[in-house]
């Protein structure tokens, strides 16, 4: 690939050799036609029938620009429903946030049934190229035209006004094929991580089940909570700020100092983190310190047995958050210090492998983001 002259208009920063000339720029309304899917809900899905796509699956199932494997089927009469044409691009008509709604996917097959609340975009452009462009450099243009508060809506008449840039069809396909290769590698990496996590969980369960003695968590450490609101974070803060989300935020001051396990009391309920040092915490985040056993060994026990306890208590009624008594009474394995460290060392080996593979995934995602921004206008 070569970098283009940055002073040349309508040319991407990064381009494959043997391609030259400016890209064309046009509104989507001039090069695309717009239709709407209809008539399929979750209740209409079945184990066999005609392949179909529901609008919600764009958020949960289809994470790349091309829907190579259609997940769902319906036994509804296909003659009454909307059929795709190969190369169609679909985008939700509604969503929870303006940013999320700019999520599109190319359907590379004829006669896939397209459900309601989907806008279907047809053009002579390469569908994967258009989908990648919508999902990257056009994402915030589309977010700005979404309307609504609790639920945002995306109207076809507004989409028609969005400007897109495109080269020859040959160059479009070259670009989309390259991005597809990255997506395939990301898919493989996700499978590696998923399999390792299953192996890690099973290894942990098997090692802990060999221990005969159990103790309540409240006897193995002190358990308290943070004192702050969730919005107390500062983007440039000096210390970690643990809330009930998966991401760790930052803050200007600390209330805790030492070895700790953090447990999300609501939100991403039951999610645990280990930390050593100065930090602060949200008022619904449980802070475990003062351990009478190896802290990482204790975390293994929590990760193994807390999900089941949460599930049991949830079945008995709504459980919007973890109660202190749920944690203090949670029984986890306890053994000699020597055996704790032996089990932990075996566990750490595969945990480190998961961490390394996750870093590789992050790198691949960064590379994809770079290429999407450099290869599109």
214 — phi, psi (to 5°)? -125, 145
Say what the pLDDT of residue 269 is: 92
Say what the pLDDT of residue 318 is: 58
Determine contact, residues 122/160, Cβ cutoff 8 Å: no
Say what the pLDDT of residue 303 is: 95
Say what the pLDDT of residue 26 is: 97
**Model pTM score:** 0.82
Q: Which domains does the chain have, with CATH numbers?
A: 24-166 (3.90.220.20), 220-317 (3.90.220.20)
CA distances, 346 to each of 142, 144, 197, 335, 359 (Å) = 49, 50, 14, 16, 21
Per-residue tens of pLDDT for the chain, all 377 residues: 766 555 557 999 999 999 999 999 999 999 999 999 998 999 999 999 999 999 999 999 999 999 999 999 999 999 999 999 999 999 999 988 888 888 999 999 999 999 999 999 999 999 999 999 999 999 999 999 988 877 889 999 999 999 999 999 999 999 999 999 999 999 999 999 999 999 999 999 999 999 999 999 999 999 999 999 988 999 899 999 999 998 999 999 999 999 999 999 998 999 999 999 999 999 999 999 999 999 999 999 999 999 988 888 765 555 578 999 999 999 999 999 999 999 999 999 999 999 999 999 999 999 999 999 999 99
């Amino acid at each position: 690939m070569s970098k283009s002259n940055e002073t040349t208009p309508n040319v991407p920063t990064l381009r494959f050799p043997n391609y030259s000339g400016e890209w064309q720029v046009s509104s989507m309304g001039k090069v695309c036609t717009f239709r709407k899917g209809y008539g399929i809900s979750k209740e209409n899905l079945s184990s066999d029938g005609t392949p179909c796509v529901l609008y919600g699956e764009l958020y949960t199932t289809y994470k790349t620009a091309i829907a190579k494997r259609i997940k769902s089927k319906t036994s509804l009469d296909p003659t009454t429903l909307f059929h795709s044409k190969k190369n169609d691009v679909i985008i939700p008509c509604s969503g929870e946030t303006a940013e999320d709604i700019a999520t599109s996917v190319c359907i590379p097959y004829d006669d896939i049934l397209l459900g309601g609340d989907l806008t279907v975009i047809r053009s002579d452009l390469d569908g994967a190229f258009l989908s990648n462009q919508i999902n990257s450099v056009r994402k915030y243009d589309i977010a700005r035209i979404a309307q609504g508060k609790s639920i945002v809506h995306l109207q076809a008449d507004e989409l028609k006004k969005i400007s897109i840039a495109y080269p020859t069809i040959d160059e479009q396909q070259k670009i989309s094929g390259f991005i597809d290769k990255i997506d395939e590698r990301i898919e493989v990496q996700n499978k590696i991580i998923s399999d390792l996590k299953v192996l890690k969980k099973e290894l942990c369960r098997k090692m802990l089940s060999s221990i005969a003695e159990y103790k309540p968590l409240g006897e193995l450490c002190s358990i308290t909570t943070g004192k702050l609101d969730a919005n107390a974070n500062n983007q440039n803060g000096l210390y970690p700020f643990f809330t009930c989300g998966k991401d760790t935020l930052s803050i200007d001051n600390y209330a805790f100092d030492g070895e700790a396990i953090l447990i999300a009391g609501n939100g991403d309920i039951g999610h645990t983190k280990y930390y050593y040092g100065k930090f602060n915490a949200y008022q619904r985040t449980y802070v475990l310190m003062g351990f009478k056993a190896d802290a990482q060994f204790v975390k293994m026990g929590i990760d193994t047995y807390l999900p089941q306890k949460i599930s049991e208590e949830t079945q008995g009624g709504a459980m919007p958050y973890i109660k202190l008594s749920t944690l203090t009474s949670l029984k986890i394995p306890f053994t000699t210090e020597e055996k704790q460290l032996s089990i932990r060392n075996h566990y750490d080996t595969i945990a480190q492998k998961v961490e390394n593979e996750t870093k590789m995934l992050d790198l691949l995602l960064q590379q994809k983001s770079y290429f999407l921004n450099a290869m599109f206008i």
